[in-house]
Structure 1
Amino acid sequence: MLKQRLQQKLLQKLSPQQIQMIKLLEVPAIQMEQRIKKELEENPALEEGEDDSADEVIQPGQDLEEESGNDEREQEEFSLDDYIGDDDEIPEYRLQQQNYGRDDEKRLDVPFSAGSTFHENLLTQLGLRELSDKQKTIGEFIIGNIDEDGYLRREITNIADDLAFLQNINATEEEISEVLSIVQDLDPAGVGARNLQECLLLQINRKDQSVPRISLARKILENHFEDFSKRHYDKISLKLGVSSDDLKEAVDE
């Protein structure tokens, strides 16, 4: 069953041409020859190549990959190892690093190991915080539930149940929410958000709130997110009593 799932995963990641090549490699030599002749007869645009090795007879059962190995060495090779495990590595977080303010440059000094994954980076940052063993376990569990887009899709109540069942840890929703706030303070800005609104607020909160356009942007996200998401900028401008230019500067943040 596992082998079948791995084969299905591999086929999903290969191009149609690569899949076709794999299928051809599984065809016995005699059937291969018959198939080539059939293709030549049905498709006038195809020609039989004059290769010096054309006279070589391939014995039934002989590995075609061995015969074509020299020709394929110049081409890019692929193996199961190139495809199996891709799903285990989380793609780089998609929020742009430009969301940091000038005062946030110190956040980039966290030592990340080369080649480490997104989740490993978060765990490294979490390890630098002063946490109790219980908080650390909760934080690691929360990070494990963050998806490839950086969002935490699981509800706090479900996380509490999971911790009790899987980790034998009884944690209140308040304790989990407190640790979640710590995770959301990690880099990149917006990580651990439960929806787009929270994600944008986590980013804007790291900027200098004394700047008028940033303060206005936060107010829009907090109180007028529905109009903002629908791009009803005229409505926002009227409700907040701001000019279109000021609104544009805030939206650009």
Structure 2
Amino acid sequence: MQKLGLTQSLQQKLSPQQIQFIKLLQIPTAELEARVEEELEDNPTLEEGKEESDEVDNEEYDDAESGDDDLDVDDYLRDDDFSGYKMQGDGDNEDKEMPIATYSTLNEQLINQLGYLKLDDRQYTIGKQLIGSIEGDGYIRREIEAIINDLAFSQNIETDIDEVEEILRKIQSFDPPGIAARDLQECLLLQLERRADDQNVDVIVAKLIIEQCFDEFTKKHYSKIMKKLDLEDEDYVKDAIELIRKLNPKPGGSSTGLARTQYLIPDFILENNNGELELALNSRNAPELRISRSYSEMLKAYDKSDKKDKKLKDTVSFVKQKLDSAKWFIDAIKQRQHTLLNTMRAILDYQYEYFLEGDESKLRPMILKDIADIIKMDISTVSRVANSKSIQTDFGIFPLKYFFSEGIATDSGEDVSSREVKNELKIIIEGEDKKKPLSDDKLEKLLKAKGYNIARRTVAKYREQLNLPVARLRKEL
């Protein structure tokens, strides 16, 4: 015999507005602009510009007739009293002035340099097309023929390889050095050609290595390089390779590593003003949006009418739906700004000593839960901010996830940041005998001798994260 019973369970469900807010929160600055543009195109009641302070006076509607069939216009005419979609963490001070900073992209910097060249309109358009073809790491990988076809179809410009390559060479003279190269070999050569002293022996040998022995160089076949270039003194090759290593293989800055010069679009700007750290949001994170006044006036006119016309009523119902969406979107953008700043301020306070000087040894062990507890939000919220945002500092641009690291136990019982262990590992490898580089087993023993309780597999993982090859590939002359 079956028994019937009741069970109680507690489930948390996200509203459609909360889901959309989460999506807004996790997209980076560059994508936010496209998302705002999409919303502006889709919603006629939303427009760009500062919110007007002289909002429609709603007192005249207090005595308006209301019934089951009437639409409540009053709720939609208050731009400053929309609380339907407030998120956790909202406060009364949401309109408080927010620190905003501006930032230019690599594309904008290159376009700016293009403007200094004496080009006619046709050449300028070709130059813009080439710059638009540059990828995040600074390379142009599209074939010149494909770019010529793009110019013909999209710009109605007929050109040829010689003309395009002539303009490309001009762009390759822009900063940063090595920009707009077609491959790594060309990128390195462009940088070597920018060296002031062309008579320098190291520069001359470095050029010969890249031009004539690039394959041997990538495989570290130094003896073959010496033979091919007919060099007897290995110091020539050693010094030239040391020079090549100082060149930037990704002049655009897009890298999984933490290159000092990056042309990312940072979400935050941090400046050290005489020892006082000043944090600001990138201005692209703070678009100025408002409700279209003309649609508010439309509702005002409707409220004064007899409200009997069905077509008018359907139109007003549609407008209210769009106003609802527009008000939520403006509110969600503001909430995104506050969540970003609250999270970054907590990270800044937690790692304050590091942000003062940029000294990696000052980084404290910090996990997502530490920040979530401080700002009283979910770990998932902190994760969405940390995984997709970056900050510009006086010593480089860094993804926020760079500042998170687990603790590694030491012999003294204290926990140190894994960043500190990686730094020690890097120092050991940089100081090793390059003719007999250290294996991961030996690196493990050296780190343990310094008091870090670490396994060999962790050493290998940290080494890979530092983009350092295995011992065999670190061997030099």
Would the alpha carbon gap of residues 69 and 123 (structure 1) be closer, same or farther in structure 2, given more than 3 Å must change?
A: closer
Q: CA deviation at 1:134?
A: 1.2
Alignment of 1:141-160 (within 5 A): 141-160=129-148
Q: 2:175 aligns with which of 187, 206, 214?
A: 187
| Greater C-alpha Rg | 2
Q: Distance in 1 between matches of 2:26 and 2:216?
A: 40
Q: Does residue 171 of the first structure (1) align with residue 193 of the second (2)?
A: no
Q: How does 1:99-138 map to 2 (within 5 A)?
A: 115-138=103-126
Change (3 A) 1:165 1:209: same
d(CA) in 2 for partners of 1:227, 1:169: 42
Report the CA distance between 1:143 and its aligned residue.
0.3
Q: What are the Cα deviations for residues 146-173 of structure 1, in whole angstroms up to 9, with x where unaligned? A: 0111100111000000000000000111
Partner of 1:250: 240
- In structure 1, distance between residues paired with 2:86 and 2:170: 57
Deviation at 1:69, TM superposition (A): 3.9
Separation in structure 1 between the aligned mates of residue 168 and residue 205 of structure 2, nearest angstrom: 26
Aligned mates of 1:126, 1:198 — CA distance in 2: 21
* CA RMSD after TM alignment: 3.0
Distance (whole Å) between structure 1 residues aligned to residue 22 and residue 182 of structure 2: 32
Give, as a single letter, the amino acid of the residue that structure 2 aligns with 1:124.
N
1:226 is aligned, of 207, 215, 228, to 215
Higher helix fraction (1 or 2): 1
Quickly say closer, same or farther: Cα 1:160–1:8, change in 2 above 3 A. farther
Q: Residue deviations 1:63-100, cap 9 Å, x none?
A: 7835x546xx9xxxxxxxxxxxxxxxxxxxxxxxxxxx
- What amino acid is the match of 2:147? I
Distance change (3 Å), C-alpha of 1:163 and 1:8: farther
How far is 1:252 from its partner? Answer: 1.2
Distance 1:9 1:128, change over 3 A: farther
Q: Aligned partners of 2:234, 2:26: CA distance in 1, in Å?
A: 48
Match of 2:87, SS state, is: helix
**1:8/1:229 Cα in 2 relative to 1: closer, same or farther (>3 Å)?**
farther
What is residue 211 of structure 1 aligned with on the other side? 200
SS in 2 for 1:179: helix
Question: What residue ranges of structure 2 are gaps of 5+ in the alignment?
Answer: 1-16, 29-83, 95-101, 244-477
Quote the Cα distance in structure 1 between the aligned partners of 2:218 and 2:235: 18
Following superposition, the deviation at residue 212 of structure 1 comes to 0.9
Residue from 80, 87, 96 that aligns with 1:65: 87
- Aligned partner of 2:404 in structure 1 is none
- Say how many residue pairs are matched: 164
Q: Which amino acid letter does the alignment assign opposite residue 216 of structure 1?
A: V
Distance across 1 between alignment mates of 2:119 and 2:216: 39
Amino acid at match of 1:244: E
More strand by share: 2
Give me the TM-score of the superposition, normalised by structure 2: 0.32
Displacement of 1:241 in angstroms is 2.5
Cα separation, 2, equivalents of 1:142 and 1:230: 32
TM-score (normalised: structure 1): 0.58
Question: How far apart are 1:197 and its partner, in Å?
Answer: 0.3
Q: Match for residue 225 of structure 2?
A: 236
Displacement of 1:133 in angstroms is: 1.5
* Deviation, structure 1 residue 244: 1.6
1:154–1:215: structure 2 CA closer, same or farther, 3 Å change rule?
A: same
Which SS does the other structure have where 2:181 is aligned? coil
Q: Identify if the C-alpha distance between structure 1 residues 141 and 63 changes in structure 2 by more than 3 Å, giving closer, same or farther.
A: closer
User: Aligned equivalents of 2:22 and 2:106: distance in 1?
Assistant: 26
Secondary structure in 2 matching 1:246 = helix
Q: Please give the secondary structure, in 2, of the residue aligned with 1:160.
A: helix
